[in-house]
Structure 1
Amino acid sequence: MSPRQRADARRNYARILAVAEEEVAVHGAAASLEQIARVAGVGSATVRRHFPTRRALLDAVAKERIEALCARAEVLAGEHDSRTALLDWLGEVIASSTRSRGLAAALAYEGAPPEDVYENSCATALEAAGTPLLRRAAEDGAVAGDVTFTDLVALMVGIVLATEQHADPAAAAERLFRLTVTGLSPRDQSAIL
């Protein structure tokens, strides 16, 4: 490949990604790859060359948000209260997902068995960042010991997808998350996740 072809490929990639971010923001994970190609001014084969699957495109769109959430998990890992650290981080993942349509779909394991994590760079990165928070909370007895990170991803994705059509998705997702954490118990009882 000549230097000119490489430069064209980099420009195409950047243009496709910019258009994809806009399309995913409007249409979520179901954004049309053909529409992305049309708006970016490239052929659909060019889109598929850079992003061979919808998952690859969603991962690329979500990359910066995922990196910020991973960095936040590192900061929260130093907090004294392990339960609060975990719940704060999960709340931030949910809030970020409600602001960024398509992010929840990028996190979904797409039906993979819990013991066989789907090839998914977004979920893999968040799992690497969040597992220490979950492990510490479980060791402290602040979270049930049988809760897995896969359980938490399913919970977060479910909440975000269930609320994305609400008038205020962030508020609806926050309410469902808090309800999930506290359960249906009266407020004076402490709950374990």
Structure 2
Amino acid sequence: MTRPLRADAQANHDRLLEVAASAFAREGTNASLKAIAAEAGVGIGTLYRRFPAREDLVEAVYRSETERLSLAAGRLLEEQEPREALRSWMEQFVDYMLTKQGMSDALPVILATRDGLRAHSREVLEEAVSHLVTAGRQAGDLRGDLDPSDVLMAVGGITLIAGHEGQRELASRLIDLLFEGLVPLTPGS
């Protein structure tokens, strides 16, 4: 059983993941680990104690970003109406996917070799979008026939297109178009 980290060690761990996610999104997984450690305010030895291999850090960032996006659904529903919460979540999904694209050289091998990682990620993201879609349906803000898996696939496709084009703002415009299709044409439909 793994012992919980001390508060300061947990803060360092979280900061390393945050900085690494930004570095990987910007520079790919070949980003300097020394620069990541320095920006996180820790020594390189701390980074290597937590993540002995680069792949361990990539996996930890992937897991952390997936969890963060999953948890965002509930937080957004507490702060916004369901329709706006889903729209905000979609924008966060785009940012998540862009971080994954920065890890695209290493992530396929990690997903293929770490049992259940891909399935777990898909499951938690489907649960998150399902939670948002259900709340939107119940509020009458979203079409009753929406399949949450379709919504997730559509926003994923948008991200791939925008990422390929290198245009983050294109993703937001395409989400606007998609979002119009999620709203009932007449109230209650």
Q: TM-score, normalised by structure 1?
A: 0.54
The residue aligned with 1:95 is: 95
Gaps of 5+ in 2: 1-20, 30-52, 108-117
Cα 1:150–1:74 change in 2 (3 A) is same
The residue aligned with 1:151 is: 150
Q: 1:13-162 counterparts in 2 under 5 A?
A: 62-101=62-101, 120-162=119-161
Gaps of 5+ in 1: 1-20, 29-46, 52-57, 107-118, 184-189
> Per residue, is there more helix in 1 or in 2?
2
Equivalent-residue separation in structure 1 for 2:160 and 2:59 (angstroms)? 17
Cα 1:62–1:83 change in 2 (3 A) is same
Q: Deviations over 1:112-134 (max 9, x none)?
A: xxxxxxx7111111122232211
Equivalent-residue separation in structure 1 for 2:62 and 2:149 (angstroms)? 19
The residue aligned with 1:164 is: 163
Give the letter aligned to residue 180 of structure 2.
T
Q: CA RMSD, aligned part only?
A: 3.7
Give the letter aligned to residue 156 of structure 2.
V
The residue aligned with 1:180 is: 178
TM-fit CA distance, 1:93: 0.9
Secondary structure of the structure 1 residue equivalent to 2:165: coil
Equivalent-residue separation in structure 1 for 2:135 and 2:163 (angstroms)? 31
Give the letter aligned to residue 174 of structure 1.
S
Identity rate, percent: 23
Equivalent-residue separation in structure 1 for 2:77 and 2:24 (angstroms)? 34
Give the letter aligned to residue 128 of structure 2.
A
Cα 1:132–1:171 change in 2 (3 A) is same
Equivalent-residue separation in structure 2 for 1:159 and 1:94 (angstroms)? 8
TM-fit CA distance, 1:23: 8.3
TM-fit CA distance, 1:143: 0.6
Equivalent-residue separation in structure 2 for 1:179 and 1:103 (angstroms)? 28
TM-fit CA distance, 1:59: 6.7
> Does the aligned pair in 1 maintain the 2:143–2:183 contact within 8 Å?
no
Cα 1:100–1:78 change in 2 (3 A) is same
Equivalent-residue separation in structure 2 for 1:170 and 1:140 (angstroms)? 30
Secondary structure of the structure 2 residue equivalent to 1:121: helix
The residue aligned with 1:44 is: none
Paired positions, count:
132
Give the letter aligned to residue 146 of structure 1.
D
> Does the aligned pair in 1 maintain the 2:143–2:184 contact within 8 Å?
yes
The residue aligned with 1:31 is: none
Equivalent-residue separation in structure 2 for 1:83 and 1:23 (angstroms)? 31
